[in-house]
């Protein structure tokens, strides 16, 4: 397969955009959030990093507070610079922003930049997964494009659209490998309640080849045909007429139609970045493999843009539940619920309290420390993690009841005297003795006089159960306590 680089030029004015998107595809992962200028992708204010998760929505939720803080911070710096404040009075961040924009510059430029701070989440994991799917799909996609006289380089376009996922669905309702919306897809595919050919990678590729070839026939340029795939060929014809040029760089940099937004302006640059990533995997190209014959993950690329330090946001720490205290069945171990936190600090040291006699102390697993921060200016405020405390109920003293005395069936034992032997023996503390453990239960000596010793119980001879019952004399001497 022969590629034609001349059909897809890379104008110098678009070089920064292409490098930006190549970094998003290969450098930044799902936990990286890049704050940059919407119009000048060479201006990157900072990167917020969330570790410990590969879920896109979860990472976005965790990073949101820090992202909003940095957006407000740099927006305020830009406004103050536009008002004439010296960058030295705004600290190191003010100097960095001043240099990013190559100031001195017009106040209108800085005011516009204050409202153009955008956040882009990394796509490295998504692109890696897409390349594994592409290995199976690319041979058939390239063959279909060749049948419709479409350059094979356009086989990289599904990486931009869906990461080669036939089941992908966008928020705008676009479906499938080539992300057809319903109105466009019905021109080439069958779309009904029972059948949706947009999810069929072969039929969808046939439809995409028809559409791309049609765009090229109308616009006469493959770069414009690619942008028309996102914006519509009628919209690109209007943009070309407004700027008076069919050059892709002129339309991207000079046209500012109401519907020609960020996605349309960057669509061709995204395609060029995707082509650099996908090209080694096209049929007939030498795909990179490792020693085990597996396709390697694309190598990270360098960028002419100097990226500021990364602000890290730690995921919520897992709750470490201490070992339960061994106690009687009546004991209860209580632990307060742990609240989720964005940044986790090392646990505070526990006071050195000796354990109560006979009661083992619970063991605590170490709480992991947060990742190292590379810049104090972009760090997330840390919330100290509270070590869960364990409240335990001390088992009460076991009550000692005297053993009943074997007596005749006719004799009924009265209840024992009040407070005969229910309380534990008092503990007498000498004035000069060592203080007791503050956690050990303290027994206060009773001020009441000790109960008199009970008379010794007498044992009556057992009566034959078959003999007639003979009432026994009601004498207190025969009753045991």
Q: Which residues are catalytic?
A: 161
Q: State the Cα–Cα distance between residues 181 and 200, nearest whole angstrom.
A: 14
In terms of Cβ atoms closer than 10 Å to its own Cβ (0-12, 13-18, 19+), residue 373 is: middle
CB 84 within 8 A of CB 139: no
Q: State the Cα–Cα distance between residues 166 and 158, nearest whole angstrom.
A: 9
CB 209 within 8 A of CB 150: yes
Token pair 């590969």: residue: 54
- Output the CA angle 28-288-3, nearest 5 degrees: 95
Q: State the Cα–Cα distance between residues 292 and 111, nearest whole angstrom.
A: 54
CB 119 within 8 A of CB 63: no
Q: State the Cα–Cα distance between residues 309 and 374, nearest whole angstrom.
A: 6
H helices within 220-261, ranges in order? 222-231, 233-243, 248-254
Q: State the Cα–Cα distance between residues 35 and 119, nearest whole angstrom.
A: 5
In terms of Cβ atoms closer than 10 Å to its own Cβ (0-12, 13-18, 19+), residue 101 is: middle
């Amino acid at each position: 397969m022969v590629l034609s680089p001349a059909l897809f030029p890379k104008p110098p004015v678009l070089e920064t955009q292409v490098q930006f998107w190549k970094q998003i595809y290969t450098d930044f992962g799902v936990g990286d959030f890049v704050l940059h200028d919407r119009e000048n992708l060479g201006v990157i204010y900072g990167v917020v990093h969330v570790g410990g998760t590969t879920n896109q929505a979860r990472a976005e939720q965790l990073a949101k507070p820090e992202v909003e803080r940095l957006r407000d911070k740099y927006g305020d710096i830009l406004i103050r610079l536009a008002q004439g404040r010296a960058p030295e009075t705004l600290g190191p961040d003010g100097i960095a922003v001043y240099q990013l924009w190559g100031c001195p510059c017009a106040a209108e430029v800085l005011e516009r930049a204050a409202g153009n701070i955008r956040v882009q989440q990394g796509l490295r994991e998504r692109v890696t997964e897409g390349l594994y799917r592409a290995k199976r799909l690319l041979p058939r996609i390239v063959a279909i494009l060749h049948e419709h006289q479409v350059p094979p380089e356009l086989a990289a376009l599904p990486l931009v659209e869906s990461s080669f996922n036939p089941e992908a669905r966008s928020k705008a309702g676009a479906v499938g490998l080539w992300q057809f919306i319903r109105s466009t897809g019905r021109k080439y595919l069958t779309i009904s309640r029972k059948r949706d050919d947009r999810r069929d990678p072969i039929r969808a590729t046939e439809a995409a080849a028809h559409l791309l070839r049609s765009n090229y026939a109308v616009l006469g340029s493959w770069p414009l045909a690619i942008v028309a795939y996102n914006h519509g060929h009628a919209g690109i014809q209007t943009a070309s007429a407004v700027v008076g040029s069919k050059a892709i760089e002129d339309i991207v940099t000079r046209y500012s139609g109401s519907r020609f937004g960020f996605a349309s302006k960057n669509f061709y640059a995204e395609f060029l970045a995707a082509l650099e990533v996908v090209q080694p995997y096209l049929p007939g190209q030498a795909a990179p493999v490792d020693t085990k014959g597996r396709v390697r993950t694309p190598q990270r690329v360098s960028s002419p843009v100097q990226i500021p330090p990364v602000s890290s946001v730690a995921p919520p720490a897992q709750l470490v539940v201490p070992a339960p205290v061994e106690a009687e069945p009546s004991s209860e171990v209580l632990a307060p619920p742990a609240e989720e936190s964005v940044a986790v600090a090392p646990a505070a040291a526990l006071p050195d309290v000796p354990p109560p006699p006979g009661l083992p102390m619970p063991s605590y697993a170490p709480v992991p420390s947060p990742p190292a921060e590379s810049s104090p200016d972009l760090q997330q405020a840390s919330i100290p993690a509270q070590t869960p405390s364990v409240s335990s109920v001390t088992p009460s003293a076991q009550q000692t009841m005297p053993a009943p005395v074997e007596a005749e069936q006719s004799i009924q034992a009265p209840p024992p005297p009040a407070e005969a032997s229910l309380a534990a023996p008092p503990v007498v503390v000498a004035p000069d003795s060592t203080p007791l453990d503050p956690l050990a239960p303290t027994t206060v000596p009773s001020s009441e006089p000790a109960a008199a010793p009970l008379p010794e119980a007498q044992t009556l001879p057992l009566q034959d159960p078959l003999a007639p019952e003979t009432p026994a004399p009601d004498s207190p001497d025969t009753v045991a306590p």
